[in-house]
Amino acid sequence: MISIEVRKLIVSARKNGMGLKEIEKTFQVKKTAVYNLFQLEEETGSVEPRPHARGRKPALDEEAMKCLEQLILAQPDITLQEIKDKMNLQISLVAISKIIRNKLHYRFKKRQYMPASESAQTYRKSENSGKKSS
């Protein structure tokens, strides 16, 4: 990573007529770094580094998360497939399950005194929702 001060010096040296080989030796940088720096300065008008993308975007935004939670509260025995169909989601059932467990902090409801329905998995809020156990 080249510091901003050195970046500015490299660009000004190039504008003052210094050759590429001379810039490489003087500032001890590689040719590709110099080319990338010139390209960055030409495109953005600045030598500041570009911001990072900050990783993968979430599968569901805030509004969809609220809608999902409302679905579960309204119908606690809703299945993952029913959630996918009602919300018209383009993600896998496993992804929906992980969102429900990890983001909304629900877990499968235990049916101790009721006969289990055909493949329905029901949810309820965890007692320690969001808290890590030590």
Which CATH number does the domain housing residue 119 bear? Answer: 1.10.10
Residue 79 belongs to some domain of the structure: yes
Residue 52 belongs to some domain of the structure: no
Please tell me the pTM assigned to this model: 0.48
Partners of 117 in the β-ladder: none
State mean pLDDT over 71-75.
90
Percent of the chain with pLDDT over 90: 42
Quick one: CA dihedral 87, 88, 89, 93, positive or negative? positive
Confidence band, pLDDT 50/70/90 cuts, at residue 77: confident
Range of the domain at 12: 4-44
Same domain, 38 and 72: no
Whether 16 contacts 27, CB under 8 Å: no
State mean pLDDT over 52-58.
82
The whole-number pLDDT of residue 95 equals 93
Helix H or strand E segment including 36: helix 31-44
Structure-block tokens of residue 52 = 């990072």
The whole-angstrom separation of Cα 19 and Cα 104 is 58
**C-alpha angle 115-75-64 in degrees, rounded to nearest 5:** 135
The whole-number pLDDT of residue 76 equals 85
pLDDT over threshold 90, residue 116: no
Q: How many domains is the chain built from?
A: 2
Quick one: CA dihedral 83, 85, 88, 91, positive or negative? positive
Structure-block tokens of residue 100 = 């429900």
Structure-block tokens of residue 106 = 């629900």
Residue 51 belongs to some domain of the structure: no
Residue 32 belongs to some domain of the structure: yes
CA distances from 104 to 97, 129, 130 (A): 10, 8, 8
